[in-house]
């Protein structure tokens, strides 16, 4: 279990990571959401970063079967975030996956 201060710092870092992805990959979108309140801006950055990941899989050079497997893993990750399986919420996201970590926080 993570101490409260560490958890807050990890969530903050995860959102910063997502905001960085958004600024680098979707400049116009980043300008638009910069006008939102912090909590909404952070949540939309997490959603965008996850969508970017999905798009990169679809547009990438992997063979079709590997793309399907990668997309299935992403669907399973979202299902776990939504609590659609038996995994406890605190165990649904590996801490090193900042995009999923932020997305889980935004959904909560």
Between CA 8 and CA 5 the distance in angstroms is 5
pLDDT for residue 108: 79
pLDDT for residue 65: 97
pLDDT in 10s for each residue of the chain, 108 residues: 456 677 788 899 999 999 999 999 998 888 999 999 999 999 999 999 999 999 999 999 999 999 999 999 999 988 888 775 544 444 555 657 899 989 989 987
Task: Note the pTM of the prediction, 2 decimals.
Answer: 0.82
Residues in contact with 80: Cβ distance below 8 Å, sequence separation at least 6, in sequence order: 87, 92, 93
pLDDT for residue 88: 44
Residues in contact with 19: Cβ distance below 8 Å, sequence separation at least 6, in sequence order: 30, 41, 42, 45
């Amino acid at each position: 279990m993570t101490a409260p201060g560490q958890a807050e710092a990890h969530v903050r870092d995860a959102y910063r990571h997502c905001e960085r992805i958004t600024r680098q990959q979707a400049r116009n979108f980043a300008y638009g959401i910069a006008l939102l309140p912090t909590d909404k801006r952070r949540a939309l950055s997490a959603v965008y970063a996850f969508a970017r990941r999905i798009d990169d899989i679809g547009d990438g050079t992997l063979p079709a079967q590997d793309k399907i497997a990668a997309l299935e893993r992403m669907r399973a990750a979202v299902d776990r975030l939504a609590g659609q399986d038996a995994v406890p919420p605190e165990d649904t996201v590996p801490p090193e996956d900042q995009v999923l970590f932020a997305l889980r926080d935004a959904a909560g």
